[in-house]
Amino acid sequence: MTTTNVTASEAHPTEREAAVLHELVEYQALREPNATAVVSIEGDTLTYGDLLSRARDLTTRLRAAGVGHEDRVAVTVPRSPTAIVAFLGVLGAGAAYVPIDPDFPLERQRFMVRDCRAAAVVAPRGPKPDFVDDGVPMLFVDTDSDIDSDAGDCPDADPLAELAAGPVRPDQAAYVIYTSGSTGVPKGVVVEHAAVVALVLDDERIAVRQGQSVAQYAPLAFDASTFEIWAALCRGGRVEILRGGPVAVEDLSAELAKRRPDWLFLTTGLFHVLADHAPHALEPVGTLITGGDVLSPQHVQTAAAVPGLRVLAAYGPTETTTFASLHAATSDATWDRVPIGTPLRGRTMYVLDEDLREVARGETGELFVGGAGVARGYLHRSALTAERFLPDPFAPGRAGRMYRTGDLARCREDGAFEFCGRSDRQVKIRGYRIEPGEIEAVLNARPEVAEAVVAVFGTAVGGKRLVGYAVPAGDARVTASTMRTWLRERLPAHMVPGTCLVLDRMPHDPNGKPDRNALTPPWSSRDRLGELPEYLAPHSETETLMADVWAEVLGLDRVGVDDNFYELGGDSILSVDTIQRLRLLGIECSAGAFFRHQTIAELAAVTGVGRNGAR
């Protein structure tokens, strides 16, 4: 790492154009070495000086292992100060970090390490992960952030390595984040330093001030973490790592009251639940940014009415570096749709027709995003990159590029944009972008399956749920349970349909293609779900109350006490809603207990009941 003498607001244009992430963080560390940079889940702190020292140590080890400019380094460390040290150390070596969620299935992790052609892997101390091939250098990290290399894979440090590497340029890759692929193969989005620097420095609406805190709540393999980490560290702020995993409204409320973050990002689904049940939980927050799916006007207005809270509705595909546009919400606004707002400074948004001509204001077309945040493209996918990243005919000198989002939008008379749907089958569920075709590809690859499709249906609480349908091949035995097992072996949890159904035959349209419109949602009746245990009615008053709440949240006619919440189609967001509804009835239930005890019979046996509840 080398020292830079520029900050976000002080940078001369030529210096600003040369800024890279780790040098901006280094400047803050040299300026205020004792300032807190990161706060762990447990409340332990890491100063800027310590962060820089540990990152430099990892940089030295990576260079000794042969890692250089434009290499990719897979980081499999869970959300922690150590993970941030790892990201910073990788950037200092001139490489790009590839965050890999340790909760992903083994096959998914193996694919990502191989597909990115990782020059090294940074992992928690322990046995060498099964998904790393022989010959790939391993660097292990302890929870105290000390860095050690695998002696068998990494040579001793070379003091000349840093000099030989040369400075890192803004057009070099900073990270690669994988998103769902419509062909069944995930694709890695390559984002350069310049794009992230533009995100965190250029737009005053999301300008973190020195000493302010930014909550780190998103999974590291989700691009919202880009803002959470670098918007804080590049500007002298503080990253507050919040507890993840199963969550309940009251737990999150307590965490926010304790941490009091100046900045918080929540995905649409979790935001809606919080606005429904506990909008007061947002009072300790300075600015709430929410997005990832269509926002409800009522929920946004509720949050905007919270005293002292500023609410920003955000839009942005991974390919445009986290946020492409923002809309400041007010409690007195009247919308049919919450606008996705206006572009960030240095970015452009166009609504175009099929011939890439601008449509009239107010008309619907496909949304294209140009300017500073556009990613380099898809790793090792030149044809797909050429298809989605196009020359920008509206840029000065036609020198820029624009990204074809696949989203339909229109520009309002006031210049703000509105999201109007998709031009393809891609969906957002719980903030994650999902291509149903990737899920279908896993099922259709099984020899036991003759044909499989995945459909998306809305829920009673305004979310979306996936359903997998399969027709067995010949006499093969296919069950909902085996379908879910196949999918869990290859896909992240957020891509596994909560419900799978086996059909005798697949409906087809006149062209012989699967007719998804003829597939009806299965949740109206419990009996349609299949493969559930024999229905056993609730016995106690507590079980009856639980069954009523589960049925309402899941959209079912009835729920038995031995039915598994997640096999009925439940997910993490629906569980948050369920827990809060139970608490309103006086039934106290922690998120951990709900996750461990997934049937009403099990949960009722361990659940505490408040004063207004009954056994």
Question: What CATH number is associated with residue 557?
Answer: 1.10.1200.10
Q: Which of 442, 419, 389 is nearest to 325 (CA)?
A: 419
Q: Are residues 547 and 565 in the same domain?
A: yes
Return the pLDDT at 562: 95
Q: Are residues 403 and 474 in the same domain?
A: no
Question: Quick one: which H or E segment has residue 554?
Answer: helix 541-554
3 state DSSP class of 383: helix
Mean pLDDT calculated for residue range 545-552: 93
Question: What CATH number is associated with residue 484?
Answer: 3.30.300.30
In this structure, which long-range contacts are made by residues 130-139, counting pairs with CB atoms below 8 Å and at least 24 apart in sequence? 130/106, 131/106, 131/107, 137/65, 137/66, 137/67, 139/58, 139/61, 139/62, 139/65
Q: Are residues 351 and 410 in the same domain?
A: yes
Q: Which of 48, 41, 61 is nearest to 22 (CA)?
A: 48
Return the pLDDT at 22: 96
Residue 349 pLDDT greater than 90, yes or no: yes
Q: Are residues 545 and 512 in the same domain?
A: no
Q: Are residues 337 and 420 in the same domain?
A: yes
Q: Which of 288, 283, 280 is nearest to 310 (CA)?
A: 288
Q: Which two tokens stand for residue 287?
A: 């600015």
Q: Are residues 329 and 377 in the same domain?
A: yes
Helix crossing, 572-584 with 541-554: angle to 10°? 140
Q: Are residues 445 and 513 in the same domain?
A: yes
Question: What CATH number is associated with residue 369?
Answer: 2.30.38.10
Buried-exposed string 465-503: b where 16+ CB fall within 10 A, e elsewhere: bbbbbbbbeeeeebebebbbebbeebbbbbbbbbbbbbb
User: Can you give the residue range of the structural domain that contains 406?
Assistant: 325-427
Q: How confident is the model at residue 143 (pLDDT cuts 50, 70, 90)?
A: low
**Strand residues in 262-309 grouped as ranges (E):** 263-267, 287-291
Asked if residue 549 belongs to a domain, the reply is yes
Return the pLDDT at 148: 45
Q: Are residues 399 and 340 in the same domain?
A: yes
Q: Are residues 407 and 338 in the same domain?
A: yes
Q: Are residues 587 and 570 in the same domain?
A: yes
Measured CA to CA, the distance from residue 370 to residue 375 in angstroms comes to 10
pLDDT in tens, 84-142: 999 999 999 999 999 999 999 999 999 999 999 999 999 998 888 888 988 899 999 87
Q: Which of these three, 520, 549, 568, is where a domain ends?
A: 520
pLDDT in tens, 20-74: 999 999 999 999 999 999 999 999 999 999 999 999 999 999 999 999 999 999 9
454: left (phi over 0), alpha (psi -120 to 50) or beta: beta
Question: Quick one: which H or E segment has residue 408?
Answer: strand 401-411
Determine what percent of the chain is predicted with pLDDT higher than 90: 62
Asked if residue 392 belongs to a domain, the reply is yes
Asked if residue 583 belongs to a domain, the reply is yes
Q: Which of these three, 392, 427, 462, is where a domain ends?
A: 427
Q: Which two tokens stand for residue 218?
A: 């998103």
pLDDT in tens, 272-295: 889 988 999 999 999 999 998 888
Mean pLDDT calculated for residue range 379-400: 91
**How many domains does the structure of the chain reveal?**
3
Measured CA to CA, the distance from residue 340 to residue 324 in angstroms comes to 9
How is residue 279 annotated by DSSP? G
Residue 179 pLDDT greater than 80, yes or no: yes
Asked if residue 409 belongs to a domain, the reply is yes
Contact 420, 410 (CB under 8 A): yes
The pTM (predicted TM-score) of the whole model is: 0.82
Asked if residue 502 belongs to a domain, the reply is yes
Asked if residue 407 belongs to a domain, the reply is yes
Asked if residue 102 belongs to a domain, the reply is no
Return the pLDDT at 448: 92
Q: Which of these three, 378, 395, 427, is where a domain ends?
A: 427
Asked if residue 311 belongs to a domain, the reply is no
**Strand residues in 106-223 grouped as ranges (E):** 120-124, 138-141, 147-149, 173-179, 187-192, 213-216
- Separation of CA 405 from chain center: 17
pLDDT in tens, 499-536: 888 998 888 877 677 888 888 777 778 887 877 889 99
Pick the range with the lowest mean pLDDT from 172-181, 261-270, 599-608: 599-608
Q: Are residues 422 and 464 in the same domain?
A: no
Return the pLDDT at 610: 39
Q: Are residues 451 and 468 in the same domain?
A: yes
Higher pLDDT, 340 or 150: 340
